[in-house]
Amino acid sequence: MTEAKAELKNDRFLRALLREPVDRTPIWMMRQAGRYLPEYRASRANAGSFMDLCMNADFACEVTLQPLDRYPGLDAAILFSDILTIPDAMGLGLYFETGEGPKFKKIVETEADVNALPVVNMEAGDLSYVTKAVSTIRRELNGRVPLIGFSGSPWTLATYMVEGGSSKDFRKVKAMMYNQPEVMHQLLDKLAQSVTGYLNAQIDAGAQAVQIFDTWGGSLSDRCYREFSLKYMEKIVAGLKRESEGRKVPVIMFTKGGGQWLESMADTGCDALGLDWTTDIGNARSRVGDRVALQGNMDPCVLYAEPKIIRDEVKTILDSFGQGTGHVFNLGHGIHQWVDPEHAKAFIEAVEELSPQYHG
């Protein structure tokens, strides 16, 4: 056994995703390595920029491990990277403006632009800095907890590529979707192929679970969600490696604002669904039954409250899910940069202390 494939000492997270018995509800936080941590801000300053942080395997490893060192109760690490690495590898030129979020030097506006986009080729070395980061993190974790790999969903990536950055009204991407659906399908198909190869390469490099982030699927109508978002995530799930190192590699699908589609999402073949805070987790469990595990789903803004309020909210969510396995505790979206790290600690410790009573 190589050092990078050290025996896993805590597999609570993986077992819960597969609805196997656990001693307590596992917990991790979306964006757990991020700006709310002073050690992260110091690392980013040392790296020089956000992209330098992502593209240097040692820096990416350093910040991935920071929340685990601060909070021993966390049950998973998540690769430190960005969802927009794929459009960048397609030649769009990702960059970040302070206070404005991600932007692209090139924008996808026409059918010719879509035709010119390559499918990301991991075997040819595209995004090798990401797979190097995965293998480095796995080595340094040395079996402490599992490592999660991830990607943005095709619809979410397309949104950024067509809008040129973040958007509030999705004017350009929805205009393309309605006016030129065949062009949008061509773009989404290239992205689905790219995401499938990208996630499989992360699994080969050592990721032990993967998550598909569909940040903007909730902006779509019912028909359009099924046709332009869910369909392509289902293609990705069908193309993923589901076993590595002798154990299953669970797949988590997360659509922000997607509570109305849980049954259809569960039909894709994924192992778990991420929930935002707008869906009651007990209601979600009654709808999907034992087909998938559920991940979530505390409102990140609860972490601005006092520790007692945080603890009460943790208990409310645990009560709603009820007895048994199949729940991974998480926030309903990424932790905010202004959260006091001590409040995040209170959150994690509340899950540690309160959840054992819900398990056999």
Nearest to 223 by CA among 257, 190, 261: 261
**Backbone dihedral region for residue 333 (phi beyond 0: left; psi -120 to 50: alpha; all else: beta):** beta
**Backbone dihedral region for residue 35 (phi beyond 0: left; psi -120 to 50: alpha; all else: beta):** alpha
What pLDDT is stored for residue 1 in this prediction?
Answer: 33
Q: How far, in Å, CA of 270 to CA of 236, rounded?
A: 10
Mean model confidence pLDDT for the chain = 96
Provide the number of structural domains found in the chain: 1
Active site residue 160: yes
Q: pLDDT tens digits for 175-205?
A: 999 999 999 999 999 999 999 999 999 999 9
What pLDDT is stored for residue 5 in this prediction?
Answer: 73
Q: What is the Cβ-side half-sphere exposure of residue 122, based on CA atoms within 13 angstroms?
A: 19
Q: pLDDT tens digits for 283-333?
A: 999 999 999 999 999 999 999 999 999 999 999 999 999 999 999 999 999
What pLDDT is stored for residue 324 in this prediction?
Answer: 97
DSSP code of residue 27: B
Active site residue 226: no
Percent of the chain whose predicted confidence (pLDDT) is above 90:
93
What CATH number does the domain containing 51 carry? Answer: 3.20.20.210
Residue from 41, 44, 226, 291 carrying the catalytic annotation: 44
How would you classify the pairing of strands 147-152 and 77-78?
parallel
DSSP annotation string for 239-271: HS--EETTEE--EEEEETT-GGGHHHHHTTT-S
Across the range 257-284, mean pLDDT stands at 98
Q: pLDDT tens digits for 62-121?
A: 999 999 999 999 999 999 999 999 999 999 999 887 777 888 999 999 999 999 999 999
DSSP code of residue 89: I
**Is 2 annotated as a binding-site member?**
no
What pLDDT is stored for residue 4 in this prediction?
Answer: 45
**Is 289 annotated as a binding-site member?**
no
Reported confidence tier of residue 173, pLDDT bands at 50, 70, 90: very high
Above 80 in pLDDT, residue 344? yes
Tokens of 83: 């969802």
Across the range 124-142, mean pLDDT stands at 97
What pLDDT is stored for residue 2 in this prediction?
Answer: 39
- Residue partners of 286: CB distance under 8 A and separation at least 6: none
The range of the structural domain enclosing residue 289 comes to: 3-358
Residue with tokens 């205009």: 175
**Is 287 annotated as a binding-site member?**
no
Above 90 in pLDDT, residue 360? no
Q: How far, in Å, CA of 308 to CA of 331, rounded?
A: 17
Residue from 15, 71, 75, 82 carrying the catalytic annotation: 82
Above 60 in pLDDT, residue 3? no
Residue with tokens 């309160």: 354
Active site residue 44: yes
Q: Which amino acid is at 267?
A: D
Across the range 50-60, mean pLDDT stands at 94
Active site residue 169: no
**Is 33 annotated as a binding-site member?**
yes
Contact between 326 and 360 under an 8 Å Cβ cutoff? The reply is no
DSSP code of residue 33: S
Residue from 36, 40, 160, 198 carrying the catalytic annotation: 160
Contacts 24+ apart (CB under 8 A), 353-356: 354/311, 354/314, 354/315, 354/318, 355/24, 355/25, 355/318, 355/329, 356/23, 356/24
Nearest to 228 by CA among 248, 214, 243, 207: 214
Contact between 150 and 79 under an 8 Å Cβ cutoff? The reply is yes
pTM over 0.85: yes
**Is 340 annotated as a binding-site member?**
no
Active site residue 82: yes
**Is 25 annotated as a binding-site member?**
no
